[in-house]
C-alpha cells in the first residue's frame, strides 16, 4: 500500500517575514511572520480592526508593507519576493496563480456582465481565445460551485448573495490557482447559505490541494476549513498553532475570551 | 512506539482571574507495539487530557512525548503543526469521547474517508468501512446519513469505526465503550484484540471494568501523577 505523507518537507509556497504596516502613525499590523505550504489552509482570526484584512491585502500585493518581506514559490520553482516583482508580474500572479475572494462579491465580480463572462474573463486574460472552450470550462466551473447551467447568461445582480459568492469562487478557480486569499467569504450570508458555501469550499480545497489564507471572525469556519490558525489582536499575532489545539486549548487571555464567547448549539 | 517523559500540564484560566489548574505532573510511561495500556484513576485525574496531549490536541507544557516515526523519534510536545498533522495521518488515530465530524458528511464517508487519508485505495477503503459498520451493528439504512442525527451509541460506534478503519501503529481510545450495550462492547473488545495481534500499540481509557479486564495488558493509575500543589 502506498502511504503518502502529504506533509512531507518541502519549500513553503508563501513565506512571510516581519510584515509590518503603518497608516501614518497608526499601526495596521506588526511583525507578522509565517510559512504556508502547498495544500495548507491558514485561518487568520480576530475581531474587527485587529489587522487581519490589512495583512491579507499586503499578502495579495494589494498594498505595500512599511517593512517586511513576502516571498512566493513561483511555478518555475523559484521563490521570488512579491514586492520585488513588477506591477505587470504582480497582476499576472493575481490573475492566474492566485485568487482573491472578497467578502462583498460585488468587489470581486463584474456585476453587469453574465455569469459565464465573469468566469471566462480570467481565462481570456491568460490567452484563451476559443469561445466554445471558454463556455465549456465556464459551465464546468458553474456546476462545480452548484450554479445551474441555465443561469450562465444571467448577470450576477440577479443572483442571491450565496450564489454571487459561489460565482466569485468559480471565477477565481478557473485558472487553477495554487493560492487563494479569502476575506470573510461567509460574512453576511444566512447560515444555511453559509453551510452550502462551506461544503463547496471544503470539497474544492480537498480536490484541488489548494493553499488558502482565510480571514474570518467565525471560529466555526476556521475549525472546519483550516489546518492552522493565527489569532490577531491590535495588529499583532498573539497566538498561533494547529487549529484544533488553539481552539481546544487556547493559551492567551484574548483567545480564551474568543473561544468562550462562541455560542454552542 | 510511544514514550512519555516527565509530562506536565497546567491550565491557566484567564477568564477566572488567572486561576491555575494543574492537570498532571511528571508523567512517564511507555506503550509498546501490540500491547494495550489502560489509564486508570477517577474522573478528573487527567486521563483524557493526557490522550489529547499525545494527539497534539492539547499543548504539552513540560516534558517529552516521543512517537516513533519510521524509526525516527519525534517529540510531539515540540513538533510543528505540520508534523503533528502528518503523524495523525500516518501514525496515530484517536477515538474521542464524543464524535466530532464535518457536518453533512455521511457515516460511510466519515469512515471510508479516514481510511483513504491514511493511504488505503478508494474501493478497499469502502470495503473496510462497510465491514466495520456491519461489525458494529450500524443499520445499513443509516450509512448514507450524516451522524449528527444518530443516537449517542450510534455516533460512538461510527467514531470507533473511523478510528479503527486504517492501520495506524498507535491507537488512542477515550472511553470507546462508554455508551454501548453488551453486544457492541463485545464487538469493540474483539476489534481491540485484532489490532493488538496486528502489532498496534493502544493507550486507552475504559471505565467499564469488564472491558478493561479483557483488553488491558497493564493499568497505569494516573492519580499518582497529580502534583502536590
Q: Is residue A229 part of a domain?
A: yes
Cβ of B102 within 8 Å of Cβ of A40? The answer is: no
The Cα–Cα gap between A213 and A41 comes to 6
A165 with A66, same domain: the answer is: no
pLDDT in tens, A174-214: 998 999 999 999 887 888 888 888 888 888 888 888 999 99
Q: At what angle do helices A115-125 and A161-173 cross, to 10 degrees?
A: 20
pLDDT in tens, B57-90: 999 989 999 999 988 999 999 999 999 999 999 9
Cβ of A241 within 8 Å of Cβ of B103? The answer is: no
Contacts 24+ apart (CB under 8 A), A123-128: A123/A174, A123/A175, A125/A95, A125/A96, A126/A95, A126/A96, A126/A175
- Contact residues, chain B, for A36 at CB < 8 Å: none
Is the CB of residue B123 less than 8 Å away from at least one CB of chain A?
Answer: no
C-alpha cell belonging to residue B26:
511528571
Q: Is residue A104 part of a domain?
A: no
For A244, which of B14, B15, B57 is closest by C-beta distance?
B57
The per-residue pLDDT for A2 is 52
Which of A39, A159, A69, A148 lies closest to A108, judged by CA?
A: A159
Question: pLDDT grade, residue B229 (50/70/90)?
Answer: very low
> What's the number of CA atoms in the CB half-sphere (13 Å) around residue B212?
17
A139 with A260, same domain: the answer is: no
A160 with A233, same domain: the answer is: no
- Contact residues, chain B, for A199 at CB < 8 Å: 104
Q: Is residue A102 part of a domain?
A: no
Task: Tell me the β-bridge partners of B2.
Answer: B31, B67
The Cα–Cα gap between A6 and B213 comes to 38
Beta strands B92-95 and B170-174, pairing class: parallel
A89 with A17, same domain: the answer is: yes
- Give the rounded percent of residues in chain B with a pLDDT score beyond 70: 99
A133 with A238, same domain: the answer is: no
A32 with A158, same domain: the answer is: no
Please give the residue of chain A at the shortest CA–CA distance from B124.
A1
A13 with A93, same domain: the answer is: yes
Predicted confidence (pLDDT) at residue B228 exceeds the cutoff of 60: no
Q: Is residue A105 part of a domain?
A: no
A71 with A182, same domain: the answer is: yes
Predicted confidence (pLDDT) at residue A45 exceeds the cutoff of 90: yes
A216 with A119, same domain: the answer is: no
Interface test with A, best of B8, B13, B14 (most A CBs within 10 A): B14
State which of A176, A204, A220 marks the end of a domain: A176
- Give the rounded percent of residues in chain A with a pLDDT score beyond 90: 66
By the 8 A CB rule, do A213 and A181 touch? yes
A217 with A159, same domain: the answer is: no
A81 with A138, same domain: the answer is: no
The structural domains of chain B, ordered by start, are: 2-224 (3.40.50.300)
The answer to whether the predicted template modeling score (pTM) of the entire model surpasses 0.80 is: yes
Q: Is residue A256 part of a domain?
A: yes
Which of B28, B83, B13, B61 lies closest to B220, judged by CA?
A: B28
Cβ of A228 within 8 Å of Cβ of B103? The answer is: no
Residue A261: is it exposed, middle or buried by C-beta count within 10 angstroms (0-12/13-18/19+)? exposed
How high is the mean pLDDT of chain B? 93
Give the structural domain span for A194: 7-97+178-264
A170 with A183, same domain: the answer is: no
Q: Is residue A190 part of a domain?
A: yes
By the 8 A CB rule, do B185 and B208 touch? yes
Q: Is residue A121 part of a domain?
A: yes
Q: Is residue A2 part of a domain?
A: no
Which of B75, B86, B73, B41 lies closest to B220, judged by CA?
A: B41
Amino acid at each position: 500500500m502506498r502511504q503518502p505523507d502529504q506533509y512531507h518537507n518541502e519549500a513553503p509556497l508563501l513565506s512571510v517575514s516581519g510584515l509590518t504596516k503603518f497608516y501614518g502613525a497608526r499601526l495596521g499590523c506588526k511583525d507578522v511572520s509565517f510559512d504556508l505550504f502547498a495544500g495548507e489552509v491558514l485561518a487568520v482570526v480576530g475581531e474587527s480592526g485587529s489587522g487581519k484584512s490589512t495583512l491579507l491585502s499586503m499578502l495579495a500585493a494589494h498594498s505595500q508593507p512599511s517593512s517586511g518581506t513576502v516571498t512566493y514559490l513561483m511555478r518555475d520553482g523559484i521563490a521570488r519576493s512579491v514586492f520585488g516583482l513588477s506591477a505587470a508580474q504582480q497582476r499576472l500572479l493575481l490573475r492566474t496563480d492566485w485568487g482573491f475572494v472578497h467578502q462583498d462579491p460585488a468587489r470581486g465580480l463584474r456585476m453587469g456582465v453574465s455569469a459565464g463572462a465573469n468566469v471566462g474573463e480570467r481565462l481570456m486574460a491568460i490567452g484563451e481565445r476559443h469561445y466554445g472552450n471558454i463556455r465549456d470550462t465556464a459551465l464546468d466551473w458553474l456546476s462545480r460551485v452548484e450554479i445551474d447551467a441555465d443561469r450562465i447568461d444571467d448577470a450576477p445582480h440577479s443572483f442571491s448573495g450565496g450564489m454571487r459568492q459561489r460565482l466569485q469562487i468559480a471565477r477565481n478557480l478557473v485558472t487553477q490557482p495554487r493560492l487563494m486569499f479569502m476575506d470573510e467569504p461567509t460574512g453576511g450570508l444566512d447560515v444555511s447559505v453559509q453551510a452550502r458555501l462551506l461544503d463547496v469550499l471544503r470539497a474544492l480545497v480537498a480536490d484541488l490541494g489548494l493553499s488558502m489564507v482565510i480571514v474570518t471572525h467565525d471560529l466555526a469556519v476556521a475549525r472546519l476549513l483550516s489546518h492552522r490558525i493565527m489569532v490577531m489582536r491590535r495588529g499583532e499575532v498573539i497566538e498561533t498553532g494547529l487549529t484544533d489545539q488553539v481552539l481546544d486549548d487556547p493559551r492567551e487571555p484574548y483567545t480564551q475570551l474568543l473561544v468562550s464567547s462562541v455560542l454552542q448549539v | 512506539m510511544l514514550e512519555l517523559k516527565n509530562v506536565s500540564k497546567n491550565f491557566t484560566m484567564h477568564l477566572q482571574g488567572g486561576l491555575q489548574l494543574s492537570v498532571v505532573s511528571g508523567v512517564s510511561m511507555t506503550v509498546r507495539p501490540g500491547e494495550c495500556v489502560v489509564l486508570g484513576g477517577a474522573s478528573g485525574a487527567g486521563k483524557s487530557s493526557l490522550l489529547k496531549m499525545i494527539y497534539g490536541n492539547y499543548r504539552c507544557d513540560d516534558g517529552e512525548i516521543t512517537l516513533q516515526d519510521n524509526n525516527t523519534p519525534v517529540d510531539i510536545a515540540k513538533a510543528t503543526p505540520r508534523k503533528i498533522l502528518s503523524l495523525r495521518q500516518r501514525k496515530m488515530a484517536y477515538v474521542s469521547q464524543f464524535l466530532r465530524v464535518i457536518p453533512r458528511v455521511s457515516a460511510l464517508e466519515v469512515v471510508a474517508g479516514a481510511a483513504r487519508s491514511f493511504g488505503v485505495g478508494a474501493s478497499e477503503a469502502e470495503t473496510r468501512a462497510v465491514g466495520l459498520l456491519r461489525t458494529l451493528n450500524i443499520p445499513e439504512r443509516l450509512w448514507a446519513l450524516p451522524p449528527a442525527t444518530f443516537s449517542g451509541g450510534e455516533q460512538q460506534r461510527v467514531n470507533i469505526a473511523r478510528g479503527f478503519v486504517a492501520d495506524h501503529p498507535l491507537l488512542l481510545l477515550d472511553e470507546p465503550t462508554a455508551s454501548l450495550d453488551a453486544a457492541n462492547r463485545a464487538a469493540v473488545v474483539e476489534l481491540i484484540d485484532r489490532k493488538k495481534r496486528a502489532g498496534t500499540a493502544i493507550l486507552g481509557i475504559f471505565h467499564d471494568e469488564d472491558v478493561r479486564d479483557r483488553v488491558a495488558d497493564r493499568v497505569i493509575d494516573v492519580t499518582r501523577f497529580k502534583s502536590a500543589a
